[in-house]
Structure 1
Amino acid sequence: MTQDKTLKIRVLFFALAHELAGENSIEIEMAAAATAADAEEELKRRYDWLGTTLSSYRIAVDEEFAGGDTPLRDGSEVAIIPPVSGG
């Protein structure tokens, strides 16, 4: 990939996602026109466990909950947020 056609994002893992990933965050290089859905697919490819659990997780891009069509920009932070329960 050439530099002008890519962007780098930082993926943050919280709670169980952090435990399963074994790290707090990673950097991923994506195509320049990537969306949150593209990031999800790349993460599923890298982490088998996300394929079965990501549907119950929320994705946030730059500190805002995001839909799959949310565009990413160079330097975006994508947070993988597991379900929260409490009482």
Structure 2
Amino acid sequence: MIKIISAIAIILTTMSLWIGVLEDPEFFTYAPFIKARPCPKIIFHSPIGMQDLNDGNLTEEERYEEFMFKQYFGVNGIQENGFGLSLCQLSPPVNE
């Protein structure tokens, strides 16, 4: 029984690294997607959304959320560059 529970826990943990949920910045609907790189973050949303704000108007937590969203769904985000086995970058670069 312990082996089955352990196997299920490992499978669920692995799945959570590869499956994410995208919150649409315009309509605020949710859609699952398969991540191009494993990442512990599950829900991706853009605090800026469709507004005309820039990163200077955001709190530290909102900057992090925007960074993670752009990393996967920006113009040259991970999703456009194809699949890879390296982990996603979890913190913004220092110069941002």
Category of TM-score, reference length = shorter chain: under 0.3
Compute the TM-score of the two structures, normalised by the length of structure 1.
0.28
Larger Rg: 2
Give the structure with the higher percent helix. Answer: 2
Q: TM-score, normalised by structure 2?
A: 0.26
Structure ranking higher on relative contact order (CA contacts 8 Å, 6+ apart): 1
